[in-house]
Amino acid sequence: MEPLASRLRPLSLDQVLGQRHLLGPNKVLSGMIRNHQLMNLLFYGPPGTGKTTVARLLADVSNRRFVMLNGSTDSLKDVREVLNETQTMMGFQGLVLYIDEIHLFNKRNQQILLDYIEDGRILLIGATTENPHFAVFKALVSRCVVVEFRALSPQELKGALDRGLKALQDEYHLKELSMDEGLRSALAHQAQGDARRALNLLEAVFLSRVRSGESSLLLTGREAEDVLGRPIGAYDSDGDVHFDLLSAFHKSVRGSDPDASVVYLAQLLKGGDLLALCRRLLCIASEDVGLAYPLAIPIVKACVDSALQLGLPEAMLPLVNAVVLLATAPKSSSAPESYWAVEKALSEKALGEIPADLRDAHYEGAKELGRGLGYRWPHAFPRHWIPQEYMPTGLKGEVFYRFGDNKMEQASKAYWEALKAEVLGKNQGK
């Protein structure tokens, strides 16, 4: 028998969970369907959010044959077989070629698709968990509409669980099948936005409890602890509690309160979500301590690695060291603030041209195009620095990084101010 998640795969787009920003009235995918004009698409988002299901349903509404390949397992031979099919009567109306994990397709496979996309023989829908602007061949991205799928909310996952419960009741001919709110919330939380995972967990809990001849069954969190791999208690009663604790934990470390930080650490560890806690610590090390104490980043990484290797409950030992270190360390957010400033600038201005002397000059004919000409190699000059323009034309003159008011960054600032004054003074004296 297929897994419960497969048995409950939506049969129409209005049954798809979440993704109202794509399928709601006047949204990008609903607009394409309404106008009977589908475009080549790249679906980008976490697993279990409906990418494959929506692709199948789009093929149905466009009356095209649906063919699925996988970027991690299918080869050039598989791609050519599908493309050759477009020459036959079977492919005369065109087909929807769905490539899961398209970011794992090598560049040659992606390039081969271009001609078939251009003349309409295939309508491509690629799916990836990676940002396609970085992970997919740029020429392919430029021919597709990038559509982001979002992780499902706890409330949406609870809706999926209710559907799953009803399906199990019907399939096993039970008069009554229910679950308590503790289990419902715990499954929704542990699935982390993934409907497939939520339904698989529900089915595992159900199969561990159902007995032949039973007519009614109540699934509870306490009885499901062995299946879920951790206790279910008050922490799981409301998905918001988890995120509130993470938020309070992060803000306490950022606010340099080691006592409150350790309190929230202990409560988070009770919940058992070790991975989310470790990820948050890695973020804090770079976002809130950063250049004020750069060694915090590798130290916290070592603590996180140790925690993941040890597992609970011993993971507490390296993690509490990391937490106290971060809470008592000097703070700086100057580096991430420079990045956010760039993001804001790029939302308002075009990048412009990269200076010609900075462009790649390692290929034949680059010099004729002016690539790399005039570039001055800093290591050939005293103090390994020489003034030259690095900023693209659209952002020329902008300043994004500002030294933080901590010992490390102020020392770096003083070093560069003195060095530049010395070099520029010598140049002016010549």
| Cβ contact 249:257 at 8 Å | no
Per residue in 237-256, pLDDT (tens digit) is 345 677 788 999 999 999 99
| pLDDT on residue 234 | 43
Mean pLDDT of 140-150: 93
Highest CATH level, class, for 241-328: mainly alpha
Q: Domain coordinates of the chain in residue numbers?
A: 19-148, 154-236, 241-328, 345-429
Mean pLDDT of 387-410: 95
Whole-number Å distance between alpha carbons of 240 and 154: 9
**Which residue from 276, 184, 273, 272 is spatially nearest to 231, judged by alpha carbons?**
272
* The residue type at 280: R
**Which residue from 83, 58, 63, 71 is spatially nearest to 127, judged by alpha carbons?**
71
Token output for 198: 């939520």
Mean pLDDT of 161-176: 93
Residue 191 binned pLDDT confidence (cut-offs 50, 70, 90): confident
**Which residue from 54, 251, 75 is spatially nearest to 150, judged by alpha carbons?**
54
Mean pLDDT of 253-264: 96
What is the β-pairing status of strands 216-219 and 95-100? unpaired
Residue 124 binned pLDDT confidence (cut-offs 50, 70, 90): very high
| pLDDT on residue 237 | 35
Pick the CATH number of 345-429 from 1.10.10, 1.10.3710, 1.10.1660, 1.10.1760: 1.10.3710
| pLDDT on residue 224 | 67
Whole-number Å distance between alpha carbons of 348 and 63: 41
**CATH code of the domain occupying 19-148:** 3.40.50.300
The residue written with tokens 């969190």 in the block is: 221
Task: Answer yes or no: pTM beyond 0.85.
Answer: no
3-state secondary structure of 68: strand
Q: Is the pLDDT of residue 82 over 90?
A: no
Q: Is the pLDDT of residue 276 over 80?
A: yes
| Cβ contact 44:9 at 8 Å | no
**Which residue from 195, 275, 196, 263 is spatially nearest to 230, judged by alpha carbons?**
275
Per residue in 192-248, pLDDT (tens digit) is 889 999 999 999 999 988 887 788 999 987 766 766 665 544 454 345 677 788 999
Pick the CATH number of 154-236 from 3.30.450.20, 1.10.10.10, 2.60.40.10, 1.10.8.60: 1.10.8.60
Q: 334 to each of 287, 300, 337, 341, 413, how far by Cα in Å?
A: 9, 19, 5, 10, 13
